[in-house]
Amino acid sequence: MGRIELNNHLKAIQAQNKKMFIPYIMAGDGGLDQLEDQLLFLQACGATAIEVGIPFSDPVADGPTIQNAGKRALNQQTTLQDVLTTLQTFKNKRNIPVIVMTYMNPIYAYGVERFAYTCATSGVDGVIIPDVPLEEDQIIMHALKRHDIALIRLLALTSSKERMKAIIERAEGFIYAVTVNGTTGVREHLHPSVKEYLQKLKQQSAIPVLAGFGVSSSEQAKELSAYCDGVIVGSKIVQLLHEGKQSVIRQLTENTISQSMKIT
């Protein structure tokens, strides 16, 4: 696909008033030989796109579940190069977008231009880099544009009106609306301001708005999807994959999609 195709893919789903569901997995958790089966399984479950995490030793945006998954992947000697090479081997079997989530340090070590090029050849459509703020995105943005890779931007609950506007204006693919003041992880209850926050984003954004961080059940997904275009589920998916509970993942995914699509 690529940046333009990713934009068109998501906007087409949005235009049909369908809700989106993006699961997150940690590449290398359980071994990289599992990555193809994991992605194709989630694709078969009906995922809109898949977010693939790259294990990193200092994952500042991640909570305990994803941190532990990253440690397991690092213990398997999983590297950025390994993940991208593995993604390349089965890119022709995928028919939904793949978005890589990583941090800037591994990209620097690998090489910014080389990273963007290898993402493109591996069938990666977008990247999420939590530790690259808007003011510093030039360190990666030009290389990504040259290779038609979208930079997916996160937007925090605490963002000012001015910052929200600036991020929305430069956003590609979708807005990643962070629904907690903290790291990733399962939450029993949502912050009271989340609904108003999502509504404001929807009013201002020309591209889809997806809610992430803390979404762990189809009920939460349905609740949030009433105010945006869909959800991203990470820690719960990672936990269930680690426990070998694919049937529960399928049920969660299908229930989330079916429930959210009933929202009018």
Q: Which residue has the tokens 């000012």?
A: 160
* Token pair recorded at residue 69: 């998954």
Active site residues: 51, 62
* Mean pLDDT value of segment 186-197: 69
pLDDT above 80: residue 185:
no
User: In the chain, where are the structural domains located?
Assistant: 3-259
* Mean pLDDT value of segment 235-253: 88
pLDDT above 80: residue 263:
no
> Which superfamily does 3-259 belong to?
Aldolase class I (3.20.20.70)
C-alpha span between 33 and 41 (Å, rounded): 14
Q: Residues 149, 39, 174, 104: what is their CA dihedral angle, to the nearest 10 degrees? A: -50
Per residue in 50-60, pLDDT (tens digit) is: 999 999 988 77
So what's the pLDDT on residue 141?
A: 95
Per residue in 126-177, pLDDT (tens digit) is: 999 999 999 999 999 999 999 999 999 999 888 899 999 999 999 999 999 9
pLDDT above 70: residue 190:
no
Per residue in 8-25, pLDDT (tens digit) is: 889 888 888 888 999 999
CB atoms within 10 A of CB 94: 18
So what's the pLDDT on residue 37?
A: 96
CA angle 149, 155, 159 (to 5 degrees): 145
What pTM does this model have?
Answer: 0.91
* Mean pLDDT value of segment 183-199: 68
C-alpha span between 219 and 258 (Å, rounded): 11
